[in-house]
Amino acid sequence: MNKTHTIQVRKYPDGSNHHRTDKFTLVKTISRKPWLECIGNFNPMFCRYNGKRTLVHSENGDLSDPFRRNETYLQTLFIEG
């Protein structure tokens, strides 16, 4: 995966995250080259944001599950920033 992808940077209300609410503020949209890491049977996706390794999520499903993810997941990438 050596391709640059568009990733939304989202801010969720205090005490919440993407699992708990659909409400968020779009901080900005960034362009990054994410990578996958092998952790047991899972392959979470990461990118660099503000000099830190940050977990990337997708609205279309769980990116870390290599048996279920597909290319449509790359259309709705976001991080919590």
Q: Which residues of 14-42 are buried (b: 16+ CB within 10 A; e: fewer)?
A: eeeeeeeeeebeeeeebebebebeeeeee
- Per the prediction, the chain carries an average pLDDT of 91
Residue 21 has pLDDT above 80, yes or no: no
% pLDDT > 90, the chain: 74
The residue-averaged pLDDT of 41-63 equals 95
Q: Give pLDDT, residue 1.
A: 59
For the chain, domain boundaries: 5-80
Query: 15 vs 58, which has greater pLDDT?
Result: 58
Please report which confidence band the pLDDT of residue 45 belongs to, taking 50, 70 and 90 as the band edges: very high
